[in-house]
Amino acid sequence: MISTKDLRDMFDEATKKASDALGDAKIPSVSIGRDPTPGFLYFSIGLLFGALAGVAIAFLMTPFTGEQARNKLSEQVEKVRKAREEAETNGFGATTGPTVYSSPSSSYSSPAANLERS
């Protein structure tokens, strides 16, 4: 049978070995606070490269030459101008256009009224 003294000696020896092992172990240095590498800088660089890549791809993949693109754009602008002029002559505002949510018409009925009818 093991005596209490033997158990205490074994426990003391194990404690000494454990503290020696922990004393020899290298503990990594942990810095508390801000990360020294600025994340916003990396984000900005990525955003810049992404924009440059998008511009390059747009130039390479466009189906029109510069002159064709300008002509197509001017045609679209003319369509919008004509539609705006027609809207002005028909009584709609120059820049506001027709108001969609001005007031409910007389044929409007609330959902509660529809339930009462049925």
**Is 70 exceeded by the pLDDT of residue 114?**
no
Predicted confidence band of residue 66 (pLDDT cuts 50, 70, 90): confident
pLDDT computed for residue 51 by the predictor: 96
Domain positions in the chain are 63-88
Confidence (pTM): 0.33
15-60: per-residue pLDDT in tens? Answer: 888 887 777 766 667 666 666 667 888 899 999 999 999 999 988 8
Q: Is-contact 64 72, C-beta < 8 A?
A: yes
Nearest-angstrom CA–CA distance, 27 and 116: 77
| Range from 56-70, 81-95, 101-115 carrying the lowest mean pLDDT | 101-115
